[in-house]
Structure 1
Amino acid sequence: MVLAVRKANENESGLLSFNHEAVALDSGTSCVRRARAFAGRRLTVMPFSLQATMELFGEPSIDLITPGGAVNAEEGSIVGPLAEASVRALRFDTAIISPCGALPADGATAHDIQDASVKRAIISAARRTILVAGGSKFCALRWPQCAPFQHSMFWLRIGRLHLESSSNCARKTWK
């Protein structure tokens, strides 16, 4: 298992400095922040939230593709069988996923079953996966699981977190 934990801020996103890629962008506030960081980059992006779609709408450097599906009224995420079919019809260079929680031993978790199903489809359709979330999501679990950690998966943290051991989350300390 390879897990890279890197810190990101609003303007610099470490692993996200790329151009001319096809990107699947998950729902969640961390993904909306990533959408803002895409300004000026030549990308093809399929966002899975209304909020990220609106951030990218009108950006001349972005080829914006919208998935089909139902909109989760609570989160603004695009979910359901039509969303899954949309993502399965394509291949992406990068999937950017914002999990509700993650543990190295257990993987990433999602808001609900429909959200987990869409996240799994996005991850399956991508060459590499980057998890983005605030430090509070690391070592926190929700149900259901959307993905175990894999060799092609990276964790990009927002905020400050120090782990004594990535496999022992009971020893986490906050700065």
Structure 2
Amino acid sequence: MKPDAQPSKDTATEGNTPTVADLGEFKDPSGNPTYLIDKDGKVDWYTWRGYKKYMANCMQCHGPDGLGSSFAPNLTNELQALSYYDFAGIVVSGQKNKWNTSGNSVMPAWGDDPNVMCSMDAIYTYLRARADGVVGRGEPKRIANNKPAQEAEYKCLGF
């Protein structure tokens, strides 16, 4: 049986549970975004929203469910070794392939794109849950809507 709340494995230690930030975004003890899964397997709003934003902005290269493609890595594997800050740095600045000498980025920089930047924590949270093996393939069911978080995203996007 799953526990009522499950923090991400990258920073979880026995007895630590996620804390809730101002907008209902869960944070691990180090302050990194994390997921919450209820006893029925439903996820918090940020994890669900991360799936939606991943599918809109990342899936074309990294494949469905973060499993990779012929030209972009499997993110469920990559997040086993990447910290939140490493992930954020790659998303913001892009990443070059060490064999690419043309100066073109293999992973584009998304730092100027509000469609990605306004949801980066949610995307990370979804991928972290996938990497930890606690969220399966396809759209996860969410616990409930999070109106304040939704309004904050709209504000960030300029709506």
TM-score where L is the length of structure 1? 0.25
TM-score where L is the length of structure 2? 0.27
Per residue, is there more strand in 1 or in 2? Answer: 1
Considering Cα pairs closer than 8 Å and 6+ residues apart, tell me whether 1 or 2 has the greater RCO.
2
Per residue, is there more helix in 1 or in 2? Answer: 2
